[in-house]
């Protein structure tokens, strides 16, 4: 997942990229049953052998591979007070926060 914020001139003021993970059972079901993943070769990376995996990035999914999944993702973006007024989606945030 990539997050970017921009100032009023369209310049990038913040950018961060992270990975989100799903439990291996869910991923295996998708790779076995859902096109185009089912057309790929056998999965060679599981959470246990992924060097970037942390449990804090593990998504809790509701649903199944037939009907689809949903989840909520919460993340925080570190802004200083001076950045609040220059970001479009934060223009109503008081400068003292």
pTM above 0.85, yes or no: no
21 φ/ψ angles, rounded to the nearest 5 degrees = -120, 155
> Which pLDDT score is estimated for 92?
43
Asked if 3 and 14 touch (Cβ cutoff 8 Å), the reply is yes
**CA count, 13 A, side-chain hemisphere, 91:** 5
List the chain domain ranges.
Answer: 1-18+75-91, 21-68
The Cα–Cα gap between 77 and 74 comes to: 10
pLDDT digit string (tens) for 23-47? 999 999 999 999 999 999 888 899 9
pLDDT class of 80 with cuts at 50, 70, 90: low
pLDDT of 34 reads 92
DSSP labels for 8-55? TTS-EEEEEE---B--HHHHHHHHHHSTTGGGS------GGG-TT--G
């Amino acid at each position: 997942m990539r997050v970017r914020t921009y100032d009023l001139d369209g310049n990038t003021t913040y950018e961060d990229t992270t990975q989100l993970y799903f439990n291996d059972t869910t991923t295996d079901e998708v790779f076995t049953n859902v096109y185009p993943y089912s057309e790929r070769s056998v999965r060679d990376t599981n959470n246990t052998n992924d060097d970037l995996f942390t449990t804090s990035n593990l998504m809790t999914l509701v649903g199944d591979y037939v009907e689809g999944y949903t989840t909520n993702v919460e993340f925080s973006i570190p802004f200083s007070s001076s950045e609040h007024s220059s970001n479009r989606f934060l223009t109503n945030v008081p400068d003292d926060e």
